[in-house]
Chain A
Amino acid sequence: DAGVIQSPRHEVTEMGQEVTLRCKLISGHNSLFWYRQTMMRGLELLIYFNNNVPIDDSGMPEDRFSAKMPNASFSTLKIQPSEPRDSAVYFCASSSRGAGNQPQHFGDGTRLSIL
């Protein structure tokens, strides 16, 4: 079965540019989570969606960050304008909402470098 698919795997761009990260959920999953991972801060939740609706975006660093789910199987995380401090590995994860708690399944991330 296909897991969570993220693209691109690596992105290098200059500060000020717009960056768009993409994520395809596992088929049948309806919860989507965006995380950021850095050496100093570890794994941080940025935002999560249930059934395409943003539930908690309290982890989004600032207005430069935005996330959308245009349909049930796809999400984007956009940074505009990007800054060097945004450099990190960005993961998305999905889970189902079956009976009881369900684990989140992660993609392999996008390594973002802002020069």
Chain B
Amino acid sequence: GESVGLHLPTLSVQEGDNSIINCAYSNSASDYFIWYKQESGKGPQFIIDIRSNMDKRQGQRVTVLLNKTVKHLSLQIAATQPGDSAVYFCAEKGTGFQKLVFGTGTRLLVSP
């Protein structure tokens, strides 16, 4: 199910480390952002979302940070585990629309 570009950025970390995956978005009018995780042979799985009226949101072991000034989104994963190995996509949605625009993805490799 992986379908990423040939030059997919890859982040390699050790088990137990904290991971930070970054994403630059394009539309300053976007009002909603989502992070997805995609494992091999599966569809993108919703992780966490954030609305543009917030700059930080926390979930279980994950935190999303939004910097609207520089149009930057990041996903922080605490105490990364081998099961976190996957491709991570950010997606943005413009005001008034339902279409999501997906980034190209980042591959996270977690070594035991």
Residues of A within 8 A of B (CB): 4, 31, 33, 37-40, 42-43, 45, 48, 50, 55-56, 88-89, 91, 93, 95, 100-101, 103-109, 111
Nearest CB of chain A from residue B85's CB, rounded to whole Å: 18
What bracket does the count of chain B residues touching chain A fall in? 20 to 34
Asked whether any CB of chain A lies closer than 8 Å to the CB of B67, the reply is no
> Which residues does chain A contribute within 8 Å of B10, judged by CB atoms?
none
A42 and B43 contact, CB distance less than 8 A? no
Q: Which residue of B lies closest to A56 (CB)?
A: B99
Docked CA distance A105–B91 (Å): 13
CA of A43 to CA of B49, assembled, Å: 18
Kindly provide the distance from the CB of B54 to the nearest chain A CB, expressed in whole angstroms.
12
B residues 38-62 near A (Cβ < 8 Å) are 41-46, 49, 51
Residues of A within 8 A of B49 (CB): 101, 103
